[in-house]
């Protein structure tokens, strides 16, 4: 089952039209100090993996399954007790993330697509993104089970399309939940604050809008909206080193964006984009516009970012505070090197020789990096053995 990949010698410049002056490198160097091991395969449409104890990862599969994987036993179990999941197109069971207070109250937060009651009554298939949570009870891999599944927020994001659901979850230290929703395939949603689509939302741990949210109490906005003007953010991570929220999202035919998310900001979609139309060479919009925030980084051509993590482990101290994003189209792990203040000072494209669409990235208790691929494999990055 287990396969090892060692890095060949050499560090090559990677030529790409990526905005910003920081260098972009393809990492193919044994001197990089890590080794990559495929530890399991056979997962079905994996979306998210997270550690719930020293040994066990919990994971979601987009077709509607939640399971646990034991590193010690090299085994997988699937857990019953899920609600109906709408699995069509890009929809399905999406992100999951343990609460910051998981050791006290073992809540797991999840996002998924579902048909709301209104759609069922009208006999249509207009799905929405849902934020929910459940208790993970039991002691260890062989006893874990799902209890008390709760719907926290059934968002107002219904469209007749089956794509651009987002969706990732992040927590800040102030007991708030952030989660992202794409424009749901209808571009005007990005600038329409009466819908949750095209936004990043902030709610309490029980799914209520915070009174400190930027548009709370405004009749022209949904109170849960934290930022808007987003196309399809599939990476979201809170940076505890610098106390900021990062998001990375898909652009159209180029124009993928890395943003620092601030409350109330408009990130421009669809009025501002450096991507191009799918049906011709016409720019979707313009690169800059008053009142709209420019991205920190733009990727042309697209890398198709799928996840985002701020590394905080001890295994690779030189990486602490850096960003890691999975890339689908360009098939690599994108390592974004940051200064202490959070400026981008370099970028390394890792694992390009794997030829895998990297869907999710997380870290283990010992600070190793784990990532999952669309082909159903789970890999581990650990320090290079002597």
Across 11-20, 284-293, 299-308, least confident range: 11-20
Average pLDDT, stretch 95-123? 88
Q: How many CB atoms lie within 10 A of CB 8?
A: 9
Number of domains in the chain: 1
At 9 the pLDDT is 28
At 385 the pLDDT is 75
Active site residue 164: yes
- What's the mean per-residue pLDDT of the chain? 89
Dihedral of CA 177/178/182/188: which sign? positive
At 276 the pLDDT is 78
Q: Which of 3, 164, 196, 332 is catalytic?
A: 164
* pTM (predicted TM-score): 0.91
CA distance 149 to 9: 50
pLDDT: is 67 or 275 the higher one?
67
Per-residue pLDDT band for 2 (boundaries 50, 70, 90) equals very low
377, burial (CB in 10 Å: exposed 0-12, middle 13-18, buried 19+): buried
Tokens encoding 376? 């159903």
Confidence check: pLDDT of 202 > 70: yes
139: domain CATH number is: 2.120.10.30
Q: How many CB atoms lie within 10 A of CB 53?
A: 17
Confidence check: pLDDT of 20 > 60: no
Domain holding 74, by residue range, is 3-383
CA distance 33 to 255: 32
pLDDT: is 59 or 16 the higher one?
59
At 165 the pLDDT is 87
Q: How far apart are the first and last CA of the chain?
A: 23
């Amino acid at each position: 089952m287990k396969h090892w990949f060692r890095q060949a010698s050499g560090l090559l410049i990677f030529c790409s039209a990526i905005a910003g002056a920081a260098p972009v490198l393809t990492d193919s160097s044994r001197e990089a100090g890590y080794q990559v091991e495929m530890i399991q395969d056979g997962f079905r449409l994996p979306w998210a993996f997270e550690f719930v104890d020293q040994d066990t990862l919990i994971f979601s599969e987009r077709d509607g399954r939640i399971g646990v994987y034991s590193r010690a036993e090299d085994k997988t179990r699937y857990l019953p007790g899920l609600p109906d999941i709408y699995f069509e197109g890009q929809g399905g069971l999406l992100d999951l993330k343990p609460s910051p207070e998981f050791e006290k109250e073992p809540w797991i937060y999840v996002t998924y697509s579902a048909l709301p009651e209104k759609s069922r009554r009208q006999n249509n298939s207009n799905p929405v993104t849902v934020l929910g949570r459940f208790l993970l009870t039991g002691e260890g891999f062989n006893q874990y089970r799902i209890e008390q599944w709760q719907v926290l927020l059934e968002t107002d994001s219904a469209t007749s399309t089956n794509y651009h659901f987002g969706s990732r979850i992040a927590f800040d230290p102030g007991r708030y939940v952030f989660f992202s929703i794409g424009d749901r395939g209808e571009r005007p949603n990005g600038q329409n604050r009466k819908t949750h689509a095209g936004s990043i939302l902030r709610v309490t741990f029980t799914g209520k809008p915070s009174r400190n949210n930027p548009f709370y109490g405004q009749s022209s906005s949904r109170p849960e909206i934290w930022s808007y003007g987003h196309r399809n953010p599939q990476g979201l991570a809170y940076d505890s080193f610098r106390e900021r929220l990062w998001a990375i999202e898909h652009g159209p035919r180029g124009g993928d964006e890395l943003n620092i998310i601030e409350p109330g900001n408009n990130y421009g979609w669809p009025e501002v984009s450096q991507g191009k139309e799918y049906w011709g060479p016409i720019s979707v919009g313009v690169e800059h516009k008053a009142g709209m925030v420019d991205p920190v980084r733009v990727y042309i051509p697209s890398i198709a970012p799928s996840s985002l993590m701020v590394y905080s482990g001890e295994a690779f101290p030189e990486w602490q505070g850096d960003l890691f994003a999975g890339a689908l189209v360009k098939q690599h792990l994108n390592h974004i090197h940051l200064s202490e203040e959070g400026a981008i000072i370099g970028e390394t494209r890792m694992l390009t020789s794997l030829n895998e669409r990297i869907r999710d990235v997380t870290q283990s208790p010992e600070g190793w990096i784990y990532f999952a691929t669309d082909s159903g494999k789970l890999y581990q990055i650990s320090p290079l053995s002597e």
